[in-house]
Structure 1
């Protein structure tokens, strides 16, 4: 079972905003993430782009995921 995550493997905290440069989460959110239920994770993820934009940070483009069972070659 996978956990919904906004992580893009750019794990550094912006010292001015206290937000992760890659995903926009705070350290407490990152630490609590595995213990959150799906609804709480999705609610936080929905607000991350605006949170990052409001803080003047670059908002990363979402990664596109291939449906399960498809290969990388098209």
Structure 2
């Protein structure tokens, strides 16, 4: 069974937080996504909307 990834094929980690501008994951989270337990994937998935909102606000300020 394949693991659904939140990846949006943007993959830009050059912001101050180190989060992907497309999906909000860290580079390490993206690399290890398939190896993470369902619990850890869900935990990260719940954080992604707020991470992306923070990144959006950072872009607006620049």
Contact 1:24 1:51 in 2 (8 A): yes
* Alpha-carbon distance in structure 2 between the residues aligned to 1:54 and 1:15: 11
* Alpha-carbon distance in structure 1 between the residues aligned to 2:58 and 2:33: 22
Q: How far did 1:15 drift? A: 2.9
Larger radius of gyration: 1
Unaligned segments of structure 1, at least 5 residues: 59-74
2:9 aligned partner: 9
**Two-structure CA RMSD over aligned residues (Å):** 1.8
Contact 1:4 1:42 in 2 (8 A): no
Unaligned segments of structure 2, at least 5 residues: none
Give the TM-score normalised by the residue count of structure 2: 0.75
Q: How many residues align?
A: 58
